[in-house]
Amino acid sequence: MLRTADSPLIRALRGDRPDRTPVWFMRQAGRSLPEYRELRVGTRMLGACLDPALAAEITLQPVRRHGVDAAIFFSDIVVPLRLAGVEVEIQPGRGPVFADPIRTADDVARLTAIDPARVAEAAGPIRDAVGIVVAELGDTPLIGFAGAPFTLAAYLVEGGPSKEHLRARAMMHADPDSWHRLAGWLAQVSAAFLSAQIAAGASAVQLFDSWAGSLSPGDYRAFVAPHSHAALDGLGGVPRIHFGVGTGPILADMKLGGLADAVGVDWRMPLDEAAAVLGADTTVQGNIDPALLSAPWPVLDAHVREVVARGRAARAHIVNLGHGVPPETDPGVLTRIVELVHSLDRSVARQS
């Protein structure tokens, strides 16, 4: 990580206020870019994720186009499960679908009998892709990608995407032993996937818990937080970002006892309020409303300026969206946001 130690992103994650506020976007590598859609013609999602040259090129595309301050490794939340030998397919328009959902104690026992070390053993294509990316990025950091245990478990137990995750939440209470066995195994899988990326050159990592907002604070603390902590613990000292959607009621818990250097905030909570909850030891990330990417520029301009202004209440701020880039987004708008945020830094410098 020495090559990226002075980059704005890593400085912000360490609690510094760099001269340039770092900007990157969740889902910046993907469907909003015409060059991505052209590259993906004739390929399936998991095939693209496991093709080192293709995954590397997709990861690099938004850095070249937008001038963002970090790349996020192009992957999918279920890739480490595929590496572990779990049968999963990503269906266009629907998402990950599992041939054999995990719903009983026997299902959990069968799945968790797989050694999580298989992920590291099968991660050669991941390490190769990361190596290609970091060689081109130079002193721009690459952020490693992995899904959190609860979000992975929600897909596995439901058998595919779900809005309320009823079966997963039911398992927590109906069979807590099986739940903890499953979530503990998934924590090891996520950790192995992140470790492979770090070993190949990723400078930071983000754990995505997309569905954590569906949980009550009590359930999150009892059934999820310990496993997310395990997924991020022991990763060789790289900075860690923890992100979830709808996590306002559990935002302080998303710090994982101080393990997370930064917490991602969705569009629902102003960043100054989030900073007050998170305290002086945590960087905030966010939280441009993705819905406003299609608004007239004066509306979006004012919104970005407000996000940056509120972010000054935290020890440091990484500008991002409150969730991922919608596929219909005009790429030029993202480039313009990066230019605006960086221009605001220059404006503040002149005033001081």
Catalytic site residue 155?
A: yes
Q: Measured between alpha carbons, how far is 169 from 74 in angstroms, rounded to an integer?
A: 29
Q: Measured between alpha carbons, how far is 3 from 138 in angstroms, rounded to an integer?
A: 7
- Residue type at position 283: T
Catalytic site residue 65?
A: no
Sequence-distant (6+) residues with CB within 8 A of 99 are: 87, 88, 89
CA atoms within 13 A on the CB side of 54: 18
Sequence-distant (6+) residues with CB within 8 A of 341 are: 21, 23, 304, 308, 319
Which one is catalytic: 36, 103, 155, 169? 155
Which one is catalytic: 11, 27, 82, 310? 27
Nearest residue to 263 via CA among 55, 96, 15, 48 = 15
Which one is catalytic: 76, 209, 253, 266? 76
Catalytic site residue 169?
A: no
Structure tokens at 188: 């090891």
Output DSSP code: residue 24: -
Which one is catalytic: 40, 127, 312, 336? 40
Q: 235 near 195, Cβ under 8 Å? A: yes
Q: Is 71 helix (H, G, I), strand (E, B) or coil?
A: strand
Q: Measured between alpha carbons, how far is 16 from 296 in angstroms, rounded to an integer?
A: 33
| Cα-trace Rg, the chain | 19
Catalytic site residue 27?
A: yes
User: So which residues are the catalytic ones?
Assistant: 27, 31, 40, 76, 155
